[in-house]
Structure 1
Amino acid sequence: MNRDYFPENNSRYKDVDYWDERYTTEQCYDWLGGFSKFQHLIGKHVKKEDSILVLGCGNSTMSGDMYSAGYHSITNIDYSTVCIDAMSSRYSGCSGMTWLQMDVRQLSFPDNSFDIVLEKATLDALMVEEKSPWSMSLETATLIHQALTEISRCLKPGGLFISITFSNPFFRKRLYARTQYDWSIKNYSYGDGFEYYMYVLTKGEILSAEDAALERKLMEDEPSDPPTFKEEEQEDNFLSTIDL
């Protein structure tokens, strides 16, 4: 990654002006590796005819690579208009692939719209200001909860939310293990040398006994508000230190 695109601080990863400026000059970048790195996992869960929503598409080649692999019903959203305009023009010849400016916390789709909702490092970008994987501010927890609620709402019964991240199950399941989202959780990993994770959450299935127990523990620890912990570690520039 060109270090010229690193922001002066992590908070700018949540600033649409930063992304608009970056997408004006940057042609493409794939957080957590390109599609070929996890294509074998996608192929086990996603059918070619599935309707797919890609959250925070950015200028990644993932949607284009998926289209080339035979997935032709792909809706891409990003909250940067600059990004959407550029990607829409770049892939104008791909019938069935659409590009929309939208906020992941307020999806403008009817209930039960998609077979697959897919995100790669988009939720990670919402959490870059957190100083420790143990720490979750109320503001960030609220953002994540809003996004996950919308994702679940837009999934068809039996549909899959696929989340690709560098966050391991010990920490990431703390966000996903909620009965109200109405999904089960499975996790996989990929990568050579540096391990990344893919979570597959199936709408309409109940949490496993282990994940239900995790939810109960989290609710007991914080019965009223999302979990918060004492911040003990210095801030890590999570996204800019990913080893691809």
Structure 2
Amino acid sequence: MDLPDKNCSYKDVAYWDERYLREREYDWLGNFSKLQHLLEKVMKKEDSILVLGCGNSSLSGDMYSAGYHSITNIDYSSVCISTMCARYSRCPGMTWRQMDVRQLSFPDASFDVILEKATLDAIMVEEKTPWEVSPETACFMHQALTEISRCLRPGGRFVSITFAQPFFRKRLYARREYNWSIEQHSYGEGFEYFLFVMTKGEALSSEDAALEKKLVEEPEPPPANASSAQNEDKEDFLANIDL
């Protein structure tokens, strides 16, 4: 895996285009085998699935081999989409499209499951502290989450897989306007990752509704000793993002 000189490159499509020309496969946060026991609880084989920011991960191919045959994959890198489309050309029902997560060109209520693995983490790559998200990133996230909610069918699930601690990530997901409930799970050995399941049409729990109200009425300031340091040139992408 080739690391960029600066974290901001992770938001640059040119970086990913170049990387996908040289790198065959990489899975952030573990491969399908690490997640299968959790995904099987929230996805049915007949579900229509959208994978956001698919990259060159083996996730979609592994899900297809496991019996999930209606999978649409999107990424904003044309190189990625061209490569993956060719790689899985013999998989009927598996499609690949270049698209921005903030502008999904699908009709309302198109999918039973929308899945992302570290894609939203990449959106937040330049944030220095989890306590204060910049207005630009907050706007980006809101646009993406609004589109995700729009494209989910009633009862559909948005599955978000991340290394971000629930205390911080739920602050972004717990909004009544998205019209979903939030459930969380974790997996991993040595390093814990998190899997959030948002179910369309279910109300926020009283705890999550209270969290939303608190954030709206009394934005929580960061602690005085909150760290904002990042190692921008030597560490893995996950270590570079302080979420």
Rounded to whole Å, the distance in 1 between the matches of 2:12 and 2:161 is 21
CA spacing shift, 1:46–1:241, aligned 2, 3 Å: closer
* Equivalent position to 1:203, from 200, 207, 220: 200
Rounded to whole Å, the distance in 2 between the matches of 1:74 and 1:228 is 41
SS of the counterpart of 1:124? Answer: helix
CA spacing shift, 1:195–1:27, aligned 2, 3 Å: same
The code of the aligned residue for 1:8 comes to D
SS of the counterpart of 2:41? Answer: helix
> CA shift at 1:135, angstroms?
2.4
The code of the aligned residue for 1:20 comes to D
The code of the aligned residue for 2:42 comes to H
Partner of 1:49: 46
Q: Percent identity?
A: 67
Check whether the contact 2:70–2:93 (CA below 8 A) recurs between aligned residues: yes
The code of the aligned residue for 1:157 comes to P
Rounded to whole Å, the distance in 2 between the matches of 1:241 and 1:201 is 23
Check whether the contact 1:27–1:59 (CA below 8 A) recurs between aligned residues: yes
> CA shift at 1:235, angstroms?
2.7
* Equivalent position to 1:120, from 117, 127, 130: 117
Structure 1 unmatched runs, 5+: none
Q: Given the alignment of the two structures, is residue 235 of structure 1 paired with residue 230 of structure 2, yes or no?
A: yes
Check whether the contact 1:105–1:150 (CA below 8 A) recurs between aligned residues: yes
Q: Given the alignment of the two structures, is residue 78 of structure 1 paired with residue 67 of structure 2, yes or no?
A: no
SS of the counterpart of 1:70? Answer: coil
> CA shift at 1:232, angstroms?
4.8
Q: Structure 1 length as normaliser, TM-score?
A: 0.93
> CA shift at 1:240, angstroms?
2.1
Q: Structure 2 length as normaliser, TM-score?
A: 0.93
Partner of 1:167: 164
Structure 1 runs (4+) deviating above 3 angstroms are 227-232, 236-239
Check whether the contact 1:125–1:239 (CA below 8 A) recurs between aligned residues: no
Check whether the contact 1:138–1:228 (CA below 8 A) recurs between aligned residues: no
The code of the aligned residue for 2:132 comes to S
Rounded to whole Å, the distance in 2 between the matches of 1:163 and 1:70 is 21
CA spacing shift, 1:43–1:30, aligned 2, 3 Å: same
Partner of 1:106: 103
Partner of 1:91: 88
Q: What CA RMSD, in Å, does the superposition of the two structures yield over aligned residues?
A: 1.7
Q: Given the alignment of the two structures, is residue 65 of structure 1 paired with residue 46 of structure 2, yes or no?
A: no
Check whether the contact 1:76–1:99 (CA below 8 A) recurs between aligned residues: yes
* Equivalent position to 1:212, from 209, 213, 221: 209
- Structure 1, residues 95-133: CA drift from partner, whole Å, max 9, x if none? 000000000000000000000000000000000100112
Q: Given the alignment of the two structures, is residue 146 of structure 1 paired with residue 153 of structure 2, yes or no?
A: no
The code of the aligned residue for 2:142 comes to H
Structure 2 unmatched runs, 5+: none
Rounded to whole Å, the distance in 2 between the matches of 1:229 and 1:98 is 43
SS of the counterpart of 2:14? Answer: helix
> CA shift at 1:144, angstroms?
0.4
